[in-house]
Amino acid sequence: MLTKQDIRSLSAEEIQSFLKEKGQPAFRAKQIWQWLWQKSAHHFEDMSNLSKELRLLLSEHFTIQAVQISDMQISADRTIKCAMKLFDGNVVESVLIPTATRMTACISSQVGCSLTCKFCATGRLERLRNLNADEIYDQVVLVNNLAKEKYKQHLSNIVYMGMGEPLLNYAQTLKSVDRITAPDGLGMSAQRITISTAGIAKMIKKMGDDKVRFNVALSLHAANDEKRNHIMPINESNSLENLAEALNYFYDKTGTRVTFEYIVFKDFNDSLIDAKELVTFCKKVPAKVNIIEYNPIDNGEFKQTTNERLNAFKTHLENKGVIVNLRRSRGKDIDAACGQLANKNKTAQNK
């Protein structure tokens, strides 16, 4: 029995070679490519400008492993969380975050995660596999369709801040960015895309060598190694000193200033001493800071800090010249906020 290959795993040149081998004209490859990556077709029969014979030929040799929305929850603040079912039955989650000025898609890069950060629900899941570039791409298309359907707007931003560590799925993550930003893809601006990482120094340097054009955010959450080791085991092999070196290397290669994401936990990293340590670290790396409200998870170790301590922390950073944004939580009532993605939808269970 012929094993069908996912056609979206092929390059344009490989599709053209297949067509040549089958006696089909070369220009058909461009048409197929447009259907796959510009029009986001999930079925060969939808490719209406191809002959019936060619559509049948494609369906005999290839498949399109399309992602589908299997469940959806809408928050009181209009945030929408989607359970995305993959071709093999696994499920990841994607979130549409609407604000007055933006429509942001938060998308996943892995099924589960291997980093076990203590504050993150996804870190409690086993990492089952990496997502393919087309599965990441499909999340963007599906969330964009939701934005248009529910709020009459297109996506303005994409953040790789869902389930998984993007830099541990480096090749497919970059391929997905290419398909999302390319003129023969979705054509979105790379400046509207942010890749968030827990901090893998050698891969941050590789992004610099590859001169990526998207934005990079580092999940920092503590500016001393002892505290960061406690909440993020990845720090034991990627210390703050190593990360600072890698981030400066990245900045020198790309000219892009990184963003530090800093979740504020009550009585753990929310004191003025912690704020001073963060200011010191910000002086080592060209960066701005996003302060994020903590979103409690079931049986979690941490609690949300008080508004008083949060504001004092933010004010200290600002007084020291650090560029600071305070990100309020969205979608908490449906477990769609930062750190809460853990496949808790009713139907979002792996087979």
- Residues labelled as active-site residues: 93, 338
Buried b (16+ CB within 10 A) or exposed e, 120-138: bbbbbbebeebbbbbbbbb
Buried b (16+ CB within 10 A) or exposed e, 177-189: bebbbeeebbebe
